[in-house]
Structures are given as C-alpha cells and as structure tokens.
Amino acid sequence: MMVLQPELVRDSEYYLPDGNTVIQVENVLFNIHRYILSRDGSAFEGMFSLDNIPQSDSAETLIMTNAENTRSSYSRSHLHHQHLSPEGSSDKTPILLSGDTAADFRSLLWALYALPAEVFAMPSTQAQITRLIGIARIAHKYAFRTTESWALSVLTMCVCQAPDTPSDHDIHGDVEVDSEAGKSIVSSTELLIQLTEVAVLCAHDELHEAVEPIWADLLFAGQTQDIVSAMGLADRYKSQLRPLLGLAYYLMMLKGKEEWTKAASVDVEIDSDKTKKPRLTRDQRIRLLSGYYNLSRACEALSNNPPKLTHHPSC
C-alpha cells in the first residue's frame, strides 16, 4: 500500500524571493541565502563548499549566468539542467533535512535573520521560550556554535529570573506567573521537560543547574502526573539526571501502591484538554515494587539489629 506524501508548501515567512537555496524540512520549503547558513562555522559551510554555486550569488545572478552560457545551445543545456540540476537550486530539487521539524528550522532562521533589537530582547512569553529551545536544539545539531551558546545563555537567564513572590502550583503543576512583574515564565511541566532535554543535549551545566530547583519545587508539590513526567524524563537520561531520578522515584514510592495503580491505568491517559497524560510503565512499576520490597526488608532488619550509636565525649 502506497503512503501518500504530504503536499509541499512554501514557508510564508522564509521563502524569500531573492533566496538562492531551497531547503525542505518536513513538507515545508524554505528559499534562503546560503551565505546565512554558511556562517558561524556551521555544518552547512562544508556542505555548500562541495558544489560549484558561489555563496554570494543571488538567484538573479545565477539566472543571468545560465542564460549567457546557454545562448548558443539551448536544447542541450536545457536537457543538462533538467537532469543535472544542483541540489537546492529549485523547488523540484530541494536540499532535504531529515530528523528536523519545520518549526525548529524556522526558529533557527529567525535567529540568523533577526535584527539586533529582536535578538537582544528578553523573552516574555512561553512561545518565545519554546522558540529559543528550538534554536538551541537545531543549532547544536548543525554546529552553529555562537548561536547555540547565545540561545542557551538567554534560556538560563530566563530560568534564573527570581519570582517577586513565592510561586504556587495548581492542579496541573503549572507555576503561577505574572510576566509584567518580571516573574518566571517557565510555566508548565512540558516546558520544563524541554528545557531539561536541551540542557542535557547541549551539555550546558548552567542551564541544567538552573532547572534543578524548579523540578524540586514542582515535585514536592506532590502532583502525581508531574512526578510521573519527571520519572519518564530521568529514565531517558539516567546518567545525566541521577538526582532527579532518585527524587522522582522516592516521592512516587511515598504515594503508595494504590496511587501507582491509578497512575498506570487507562483512566488517566487523556487530560481534559485532549492531550495524552504520562503513565507509569510496567518497568517503572517493577522498579517501585522492588524498591519498596528492599526498603521494607531493610526496616525489618533494623529492628533485629539496631545500629550502635556512639556519643562524642563532649556530649
């Protein structure tokens, strides 16, 4: 059975009329200037150096050059162009980027094309934070070192912004936010997960350290779904998130077996906003049961062999 491919569409913002390189991400086409992508020592610089299209050429220059070269033999050059069109020269032969999202690539282009006033403005909304996360993620993949460092630094500053008043958690684990008062704009568990993932991906210790106390506040608030989310995240990055892994499992163990069963049931799979809620997996329940058993045995052993407590002579 053939799988229908989605129709290609031109990006409304970054399909530029004077661009000279067409790039496809998912089903979206971007027409941009290759010199923009070749800066900052990125992986695109090496890729573009392999073909014979000058980086400084605009689309108009390329058309004029081709017209001059083909004036004497239109038919032959037409066939040559039809069969040997350089990758990225048209919508029919775009450079395909696999494993990326159009949203992340659009965010990267925003960072590369943005005006200084836009770049230096501090984010004030969740959407802007999400865009910075996308920039850091894709800049890391394609080795835009300066862009990656800038995005991570801004994210760290945003996370470290101290609230004017103590923050509370509602039933969904969201942090009460008042952006006008300069409070934290890390306002959802999902956003906190993305911040932690990009900190681990880019091995950025400052951002990693900045999100740790936010996780602690969130988990000690006691909402089961937040604890399950933290367990899932920490299980994926065990070596990098060992403190979060231990805290999440400890707090879930305190919930007891009845709560574990509830957190693993289908009754909590769909939230009121139709989004899928995290559930305890079979492996996670086995770890909790194993930990509960081992701790129970340790407690029983203490009653039979109480530890000897020694006092300092000064006491």
pLDDT in tens, the chain (315 residues): 555 678 999 999 999 999 999 999 999 999 999 999 998 889 998 888 766 555 444 444 444 444 455 444 444 444 444 455 688 888 999 999 999 999 999 999 999 999 988 888 888 788 999 999 999 999 999 999 999 999 999 999 999 875 543 444 443 445 444 444 445 677 689 999 999 999 999 999 999 999 999 999 999 998 999 999 999 999 999 999 999 999 999 999 999 888 888 888 754 455 555 556 788 899 999 999 898 888 888 888 888 888 888 887 887
CB environment 247-281: b (16+ within 10 A), e (fewer): bbbebbbeeeeeebeebbeeebeeeeeeeebbbbe
Structure tokens at 281: 């997996």
Rounded to two decimals, the pTM is: 0.75
